[in-house]
Amino acid sequence: MKNFIKIVFGSCLGVVMALVVVGLIGSFMMTRLISAGLSKPDVKANSVLKLSFDREIPEKTNNTEAAMYNFSEDPFLGLYEVAQCISHAKEDRNIKGIYLSLSSARLGNASADYIRDAILDFKESGKFVYAYCGNYGYSQGAYYLATAADKIMLHPLGGIDLRGFGTEIPFFKDMLDRIGVKMNVFYAGKYKGATEPFRLNELSDENRYQIREYIQDLYESFVEDIAQGRNLSVEEVKQAASNLYGRSADMALENNLIDAIQYEDEFYNEIRDQLDFDEDEKINFVGLNSYYKAKGKDLNLTAGSKIALIYAEGEIRGGEDQYGMITDDQYVPILRDIRKDDKVKAVVLRINSPGGDAYVSDEIWRETQLLREEGIPVIVSMGDVAASGGYYIACGADRIVAEPNTITGSIGVFGLIPNVQELMNEKLGIHMDTVQTAKYANGLINPFYPVGPEQASIMQEGIDRMYEAFLSRVAQGRNMTRDAVHEIAQGRVWTGEKAKEIGLVDQLGDLDDAIQLASEMAGTDDYRITEYPRLKDPMQKLIEDLTGQDLPSEISNRILSNRFPDIHRTLTSLEYLLSCQHPMARLPFELQLN
């Protein structure tokens, strides 16, 4: 009886506490929503737009794990919204210039290029763009963006991070051998380097060659843009990078990497001169989020026709919807709903993904084909990366638009299954035994037993079958033969520019170009853009986690992603790589301009 009373009392207390928590959160959210609705920021005359880019910029606003429980009024603005804000500022009479305050910038190559182009377009208005930073020594991407400015100023004790591009890949084979774990590796494509860290201790010749090729292409584009921005020759920029001429403010000035060495107050006086302000007059700096809230998005609510803009960013995985991931439970229904919407005249699929689960990739590809069968044009816009599974979901589109420095291709498939028999038997003293009614009743490949030749043959057969399906999808979508695709496939990675030359991409351009192309193919100039996925409100997400999901895991993941983003990305990708039950079509790395 006592235990019954305790259980009832505990249950009631838990319900009461849950109601109190939900009530407090609801009250907080209501207050925040009311205050947000009553306080739309005002952009004053003679304002300066201040751009920092000091946190992650997803493709779609708030579609990132860091925004999962973001209850502040500042959203994680998406790349398209950032560019739109800069475009608005170009025509805004109250904005007189841009201040680039860039100590770091965590952006991929294509994303940085997109924002830089928006800044260059802003300059055509005749308004000033000034860049100032205490130290550009933390990110090459920050300096790259700064070179779009009219003037670059630097603190006397600052420096510039300009050193060229390199890559580092960890290899785990020796470690796995030492702890008694053998990785059973199956792959199709001699350039498919994702499996190499588990079967080699260094890069293969093929993988080293392809990496050298595409990072050299990326570097050439990077250097050419900087040279143009700084009125230097390409060779001068390369010399500056090779000799670290930006390591001090004096050397940077001497080599024309910056325009002036100044303290912050001196820099502010430069801006006051541009605004015709007195020496002590306050400058009204407007942050990007404030400007976005003041101006809002470009919406044409009167238009009857719609162009569906689907942001497919992150790894491709099976299961429920996740922030910054492409899952079948989320994206397949989105595509089906769009197909049934008579107002949707075209689809733009914006892809920024290294790939992932091959089966999920095929499901998404199938839905794009059904859209086309309904007469709805599908145009793909490639961001930083649209490779492996990311290219799989792109290849069936009517047109593919990529940035010159997009990473794409990697048409290949692999599977990884660990064997832990030695670890269990010899290291831990744990032994497994089995009784089964058929040869493979406990699985074709069981991690506790060695893989025999017949099992390996069956597994490789499945990988080859998936690879052939991949080749077939690409051949069908690109009007090529299977052998022609195989020649440029085999897991090899290409830049967008090279991909266009070999027929994997139709044209070079950005998201705006893809939307314009969608408008032309739909035969309409009068349209509104409707964006997907529709993200859950942070409050809804929190309540779901409080009532049914693993909240401690969510919180620990978010803390790790905020404090140590590079480590978090590596660990989560590795975890998924080893846990996925399907063949994988994924890049073996992530590229960031830093």
Residue-wise burial string across 45-83, b where 16 or more C-beta atoms lie within 10 A, e elsewhere: ebbbbbbbbebbbbbbbbbbbbbbeeeeeeebbbbbbbb
For the domain 305-418+470-586, what is the CATH code? 3.90.226.10
The string of DSSP letters for 398-462 reads SEEEE-TT-EEE---EEEEEEE-HHIIIIIS--------SSTTTT-SS-TTSPPPHHHHHHHHHH
Share of the chain above pLDDT 90, in %: 64
Highest mean pLDDT out of 92-101, 202-211, 302-311, 553-562: 92-101
In one-letter notation, the amino acid at residue 179 is: I
For the chain, state the CA radius of gyration: 26
Asked if the model's pLDDT at residue 40 lies above 90, the reply is: no
Asked if the model's pLDDT at residue 147 lies above 90, the reply is: yes
Assess whether the previous peptide bond of 533 is cis (omega < 30° from 0). yes
- Assigned token pair, 541: 């997400």
Distances (CA, A) of 226 to 101, 213, 242, 458: 18, 20, 15, 52
Rounded distance between C-alpha atoms, residue 535 and residue 64, angstroms: 10
Asked if the model's pLDDT at residue 14 lies above 70, the reply is: no
pLDDT of residue 341: 95
- Place 587 in a pLDDT band, splitting at 50, 70 and 90: low
Asked if the model's pLDDT at residue 561 lies above 70, the reply is: no
Q: Are strands 378-387 and 399-402 parallel, antiparallel or unpaired?
A: parallel
- The position carrying tokens 């794990």 is 65
- Place 28 in a pLDDT band, splitting at 50, 70 and 90: very low
Which residues of the chain does CATH 3.90.226.10 include?
A: 47-163+244-295, 305-418+470-586
pLDDT of residue 13: 47
Which residues, listed in sequence order, are joined to residue 317 by a DSSP beta bridge?
Answer: 327
Cβ neighbourhood burial of 514 (10 Å; 0-12, 13-18, 19+): buried
pLDDT tens-digit series, residues 218-242: 999 999 999 999 999 999 999 999 9
SS (H, E, C) 23-74: HHHHHHHHHHHHHHHHCCCCCCCCEEEEECCCCCCCCCCCCCHHHCCCCCCC
Q: Are strands 407-409 and 378-387 parallel, antiparallel or unpaired?
A: parallel
pLDDT of residue 564: 54
- Reply yes or no on domain 47-163+244-295 having CATH 3.40.50.150: no
Asked if the model's pLDDT at residue 301 lies above 80, the reply is: no
The conformational region for residue 472 under phi > 0 = left, psi -120 to 50 = alpha, else beta, is: alpha
Distances (CA, A) of 191 to 10, 202, 237, 468: 59, 14, 32, 16
Stretch (H or E) spanning 98 = strand 95-100
pLDDT of residue 446: 85
- Place 524 in a pLDDT band, splitting at 50, 70 and 90: very high
pTM of the model: 0.84
- Place 21 in a pLDDT band, splitting at 50, 70 and 90: very low
Distances (CA, A) of 41 to 33, 46, 78: 14, 15, 20
* Span 143-155, average pLDDT: 97
The string of DSSP letters for 318-360 reads SSS--TT-EEHHHHHHHHHHHHT-TTEEEEEEEEEE-EEEHHH
Active-site positions read: 192, 388
